[in-house]
């Protein structure tokens, strides 16, 4: 049985989601959309107006006022009033994205990380926050790591010197906010959430997202929500024993999937240097493969190992769509073609359906965008109140 507070939060979330997904509406229109009583919607709207979250919309095609009674004015979410901040700390770049309650991206920026990754991230976070003074509902940091289900403790980060919960305190200090307002979440989960709500997996009920950076991780989305497993560690696929069994991995073992298909593995095989970001590096790889048959064969081998791992995941998870992000995007058909061929050959039965392989559409901002959305999620799902002061 829901408590009064839980019911109020759920009803408020229903109104917010309606305005976000379907656009402006009158109070009567919101009642019709959500199935809530008009009096309930009126009370919720009054609270949202007090919080500064809604405003009377200025739309050219607003419905005409009724002949008698109070005119029915459409309401919309106030742009930039309540914000979610998403950050990503990765091996060779950092990112920041600001999203408002309406789902509009107000800022999206990535920078090379250099040696002082954390310092660059904290500086970027402070700059972005200063540029957007709206009410910050939360900050989420995406990291390529296993993060415990407290959403603050890094349990294992094979490619970064991260451990424990110190990242929360440092980000909170840089932003001048309470540590309780900062979360840490796996980067693949964040990117998967972004692609499901803004990108290549939008409208897909069962999707798998695969990162493509130094590390390889997966995010699993069912019905628009993340599948995180018993301890929150679901999707740690980069260390499956797939591919070259002799290839050394950053985790200290050999034969991990990311040791065969991760960006550094590709660069080592080609004798190429890493550039500023995974995308610019992959563009250089694709340009070389266009003219160099040996380089093309190397990239095709990566595609085959990619398909081998995806065949295992497809057999276990049965996703309708697999979205490939990061450095896979510039390589495109160079890896997609071989991956499809291996998938077709490895499916155990002809009744199985090969998942559709799609390239991510959100480039390096995917994880930070998903992190920003995660910062709003508790209010939008009714598990937290929208602050009124």
Instruction: Kindly report, residue by residue over 74-95, the tens digit of the pLDDT.
Output: 999 999 999 999 999 998 899 9
Predicted pLDDT at 58: 67
10 Å Cβ neighbour count for 311? 22
**pLDDT confidence tier of residue 65, bands split at 50, 70 and 90:** very low
pTM for this prediction? 0.90
Q: How far, CA to CA in Å, does 142 sit from each of 88, 157, 164, 186, 189?
A: 5, 12, 15, 5, 8
**pLDDT tens digits for 139-174?**
999 999 999 989 999 999 988 999 999 999 999 999
Residue 99 class from Cβ within 10 Å (0-12 exposed, 13-18 middle, 19+ buried)?
buried
Count, residues in the chain: 389
Tell me, what DSSP letter sits at residue 363?
Answer: G
Average pLDDT over residues 5-12: 93
Q: How far apart are CA 24 and CA 18, in angstroms?
A: 9
Nearest Cα to Cα of residue 88 among 115, 113, 114? 113
42 within 8 A of 19, measured Cβ to Cβ: no
Beta bridge pairs of residue 110 = 95
Predicted pLDDT at 71: 57
> Containing H/E element for 6?
helix 4-22
56-70, 177-191, 348-362: least confident range = 56-70
Predicted pLDDT at 353: 85
Q: How far apart are CA 388 and CA 8, in angstroms?
A: 14
């Amino acid at each position: 049985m829901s408590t009064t507070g839980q019911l109020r939060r759920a009803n408020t979330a229903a109104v917010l989601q309606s305005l976000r997904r379907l656009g402006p509406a009158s109070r009567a229109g919101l009642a019709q959309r959500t199935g809530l009583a008009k009096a309930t919607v009126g009370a919720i709207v009054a609270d949202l107006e007090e919080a500064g979250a809604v405003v009377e919309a200025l739309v050219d095609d607003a419905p005409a006022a009724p002949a008698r009674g109070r005119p029915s004015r459409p309401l919309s979410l106030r742009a930039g009033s309540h914000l979610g901040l998403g950050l990503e700390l990765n091996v060779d770049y950092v990112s920041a994205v600001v999203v408002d309650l309406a789902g509009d991206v107000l800022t999206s920026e990535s920078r090379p990380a250099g040696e002082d990754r954390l310092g660059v991230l904290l500086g970027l976070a402070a700059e972005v926050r200063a540029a957007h003074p709206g009410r910050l509902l939360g900050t989420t940091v995406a990291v390529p790591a296993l993060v415990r289900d407290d959403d603050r403790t890094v349990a294992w980060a094979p490619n970064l010197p991260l451990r424990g919960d110190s990242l929360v305190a440092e980000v909170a200090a840089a932003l001048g906010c309470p540590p309780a307002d900062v979360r840490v979440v796996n980067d693949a989960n964040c990117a998967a959430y972004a692609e499901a709500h803004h990108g290549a997996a939008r409208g897909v009920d069962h999707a798998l997202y695969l990162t493509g950076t130094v590390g390889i991780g997966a995010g699993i989305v069912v019905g628009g929500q993340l599948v995180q497993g018993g301890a929150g560690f679901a999707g740690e696929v980069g260390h499956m024993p797939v591919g070259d069994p002799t290839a050394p991995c950053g985790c200290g073992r050999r034969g991990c999937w990311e040791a065969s298909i991760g960006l550094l593995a590709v660069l080592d095989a080609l004798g190429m240097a890493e550039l500023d970001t995974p995308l610019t590096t992959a563009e250089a790889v694709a340009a070389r493969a266009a003219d160099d048959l040996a380089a093309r064969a190397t990239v095709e081998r990566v595609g085959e190992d990619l398909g081998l791992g995806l065949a295992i995941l497809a057999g276990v998870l049965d996703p309708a769509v697999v979205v490939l992000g990061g450095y896979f995007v510039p390589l495109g058909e160079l890896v997609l073609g071989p991956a499809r061929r291996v998938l077709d050959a490895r499916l155990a039965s002809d009744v199985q359906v090969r998942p559709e392989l799609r390239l991510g559409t959100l480039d390096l901002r995917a994880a930070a965008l998903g992190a920003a959305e995660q910062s709003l999620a508790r209010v939008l799902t009714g598990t937290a109140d929208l602050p009124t002061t």
